[in-house]
Amino acid sequence: EVQLVESGGGLVKPGGSLRLSCVASGFTFNTYTINWVRQTPGKGLEWVSSITSSSGYIYYADSVKGRFTISRDNAKNSLYLQMDNLRAEDTAVYYCARKTISARHFDYWGQGTLVTVSS
């Protein structure tokens, strides 16, 4: 069974940092592109970042470029999101989501981890 489990969320002050993790199981992690997607409380989904299977290509939404860093450790089946210089508007549930190999969509999602940026 494919599983993605996020962790690392919490309360952080504006300007602070946080590192999210996503541990994958049930599939060959090192062959898939994985994404971070966030959802502001009560609002819609926003794609945040993407990293290809061997970390060869990395992409960011404009809203987080220069502040967030995505990375992965294929030996640990793990994805990370280092979030620096956090703002109130970064408050959201952060999901990791797997992109299919053969098509362009996200087929499996984790349950999310809540990040709250507040003083």
Q: Give the residues lining the site for other proteins (CB under 8 A).
A: 35, 37, 44-47, 50, 57, 59, 61-62, 95, 97, 100, 103-107, 109-112
Least Å distance between CB 13 and other proteins? Answer: 27
> 100: which DSSP letter?
P
Please identify, using beta-carbon distances, which residue of 44 and 75 lies nearer to other proteins: 44
* β-bridge mates for residue 35, sequence order: 50, 97
How far is the CA of 31 from the CAs of 10, 77, 92, 93, 101, in angstroms?
30, 11, 28, 26, 8
Please identify, using beta-carbon distances, which residue of 37 and 86 lies nearer to other proteins: 37
Least Å distance between CB 15 and other proteins? Answer: 25
Residue 104 — φ and ψ, nearest 5°? -105, 80
